[in-house]
Amino acid sequence: MEKKVSYDAFWMPFTANRNFKADPRIINRAEGMYCYSDNGTQLLDATAGLWCVNAGHGRKEIGEAMAKQVAELDYSSPFNFGHDIGFEFAERLVSFTPPGLNKVFFTNSGSEAVESALKIALAYQQAKGNTGKFKLIGRELGYHGVNFGGISVGGLTPNRKGFGPLLPTDHLSHTLDIANNAFSQGLPEHGADKAEQLEQLIQFHGADSVAAVIVEPISGAGGVILPPKGYLRRLREICSKHDVVLIFDEVITGWGRLGASFASEAFDVVPDLITSAKGITSGVVPLGAVFAKDEIYQTVVNSAPEGAVEFFHGYTYSGHPVACAAGLATLDIYQREGLLERASGEIGQYFQQGLHSLKDIPSIVDIRNYGLIGAIQFAEPQDGKPIGFDILKRCYDKGVMVRSMGNTIALSPPLIIEKQHIDVIVDTLSNIAKDIPA
């Protein structure tokens, strides 16, 4: 295929630039469950882009709502001015959030939602008079975006190293335990006791110094690591006991991925703050949000003198009217088509059965899944070089787009997926996996 444009200027994120530019994978069109490469090859999108295109590609209603909004109000400052669509979207959003989380702080991405949540947690502790509570606790293999707060609490080593001193943090262990939980369907049985580490870390640092704990209910970028049964509930108890703010980073797990609006609902554990992005607009336009407990909002707001700004934080594009219009249209689709619950029904079951049908392939050491998120972990190759990216390329050549991390392949298809698409994903992975030495 002859190149139409130069690939020189674009410094690509989280990509081996030289390698990619020598052998590019260019997607110029997408519709429904499919993307199309520049030579017209149809590619089944088994990852909903980057875990975000939950309503499927090319949803015209979203584009139409955005065009209408541009014609009506393209932009207005969110500092000291408001617009109805921002307030309307916020009200609509909190009809989906867990009980009590009825305030929304808008951002433009998941990374910004994380920074905002960490700062809200710190501001809340200060407003409450907990003046020594500044430490933040994250988790090994956690991914919380790429800004400085997010990489400080994050637990993926390559994302942290080389950027100098980070914020004062500590980290819980991750909960991946292949020895005891391999091939669990849904939440694993073993390992809830790992939550006790939080008690130990809080004792070690002193409860009067720990402000917040942030975890992804299911770690995505770290390899789709599921919480053992009872683990998140125990974290909740320990945070409540020590007045530590519990943040669920639901940038991936929100908006139907687990068959509910949020993981909090699916797992029946209510945190103090939730971060959101991606599926909030089905990936069509950047938008993120933090959902906060009413008590957190009231404490911060009421701590400032009447007439004074209460929280010195915000973005030029917080609650951008065009993004809010896209978000409202996305929520309409989710509700009209029952997409938020879909992963908890027959299609989620079919996805689970399909993935676990690969169990006996010798090169596969673990399969993990919940709702419409899944992972297949391959044995570490003899030479120690991770095999995931090689599998990604082989899948691409066979018309299926997957995500790779180390020796793991992650799947998170659009929520509109049908059984025949799952069959194609499973067959493709099966054929490739059978060719890989154990």
Residues near ligand PMP (CB under 6 A), total: 15
Stretch that binds ligand PMP, among 90-98, 124-132, 142-150, 378-386 (CB under 6 A): 142-150
Dihedrals phi, psi of 201, to nearest 5 degrees: -65, -40
Axis-axis angle for helices 294-303, 110-127 (nearest 10): 60
SS3 53: coil
Show the beta-strand stretches assigned E in 95-251.
103-107, 135-139, 169-172, 210-215, 245-249
Which contiguous run of DSSP H or E holds residue 28? Answer: strand 27-31
Cα separation, 44 vs 270, whole angstroms: 35
Cα separation, 45 vs 411, whole angstroms: 9
Contacts of 309 (CB under 8 A, 6+ apart): none
- Between 274 and 361, whose beta carbon lies closer to ligand PMP? 274
- Which one of 143, 262, 297, 378 is in contact with ligand PMP (CB under 6 A)? 143
- Which one of 83, 103, 139, 144 is in contact with ligand PMP (CB under 6 A)? 144
- Between 127 and 141, whose beta carbon lies closer to ligand PMP? 141
Find the shortest distance in angstroms from Cβ 156 to ligand PMP. Answer: 11
Residues 283-322 that bind ligand PMP (CB under 6 A): none
Q: Are 260 and 344 in contact (CB under 8 A)?
A: yes
Find the shortest distance in angstroms from Cβ 219 to ligand PMP. Answer: 8
- Which one of 56, 86, 98, 145 is in contact with ligand PMP (CB under 6 A)? 145
215 near ligand PMP (CB under 6 A): no
Find the shortest distance in angstroms from Cβ 13 to ligand PMP. Answer: 9
49 near ligand PMP (CB under 6 A): no
Burial class (CB within 10 angstroms; exposed 0-12, middle 13-18, buried 19+) of 133: buried
Find the shortest distance in angstroms from Cβ 150 to ligand PMP. Answer: 7
277 near ligand PMP (CB under 6 A): yes
* Alpha helices (H) in 182-290, listed in sequence order: 196-205, 231-241, 263-267
Find the shortest distance in angstroms from Cβ 263 to ligand PMP. Answer: 11
Contacts of 284 (CB under 8 A, 6+ apart): 53, 59, 62, 63, 66, 326, 330
Find the shortest distance in angstroms from Cβ 41 to ligand PMP. Answer: 26
SS3 67: helix
Stretch that binds ligand PMP, among 19-27, 29-37, 191-199, 216-224 (CB under 6 A): 216-224
Residues 371-430 that bind ligand PMP (CB under 6 A): none
- Between 250 and 363, whose beta carbon lies closer to ligand PMP? 250
- Between 202 and 277, whose beta carbon lies closer to ligand PMP? 277
- Between 86 and 220, whose beta carbon lies closer to ligand PMP? 220
252 near ligand PMP (CB under 6 A): yes
- Between 86 and 145, whose beta carbon lies closer to ligand PMP? 145
Pseudo-torsion of CA 314, 317, 322, 325, nearest 10°?
A: -20
C-alpha dihedral sign at 14, 421, 336, 56: positive
Stretch that binds ligand PMP, among 41-49, 139-147, 318-326, 392-400 (CB under 6 A): 139-147
- Between 246 and 426, whose beta carbon lies closer to ligand PMP? 246
Q: Which residue is nearest to ligand PMP (CB)?
A: 110
Residues 99-118 that bind ligand PMP (CB under 6 A): 109-111, 114
Cα separation, 370 vs 348, whole angstroms: 8
89 near ligand PMP (CB under 6 A): no
Tokens representing residue 143 in the block? 């991914």
Cα separation, 331 vs 62, whole angstroms: 10
Q: Are 89 and 324 in contact (CB under 8 A)?
A: yes
Show the beta-strand stretches assigned E in 58-207.
103-107, 135-139, 169-172
- Between 127 and 324, whose beta carbon lies closer to ligand PMP? 324
Cα 372 from chain centroid (whole Å): 13
247 near ligand PMP (CB under 6 A): no
Find the shortest distance in angstroms from Cβ 277 to ligand PMP. Answer: 5
216 near ligand PMP (CB under 6 A): yes
Stretch that binds ligand PMP, among 165-173, 178-186, 213-221, 301-309 (CB under 6 A): 213-221
Binding residues (CB under 6 A) for ligand PMP: these are: 50, 109-111, 114, 143-145, 216, 220-221, 249, 251-252, 277
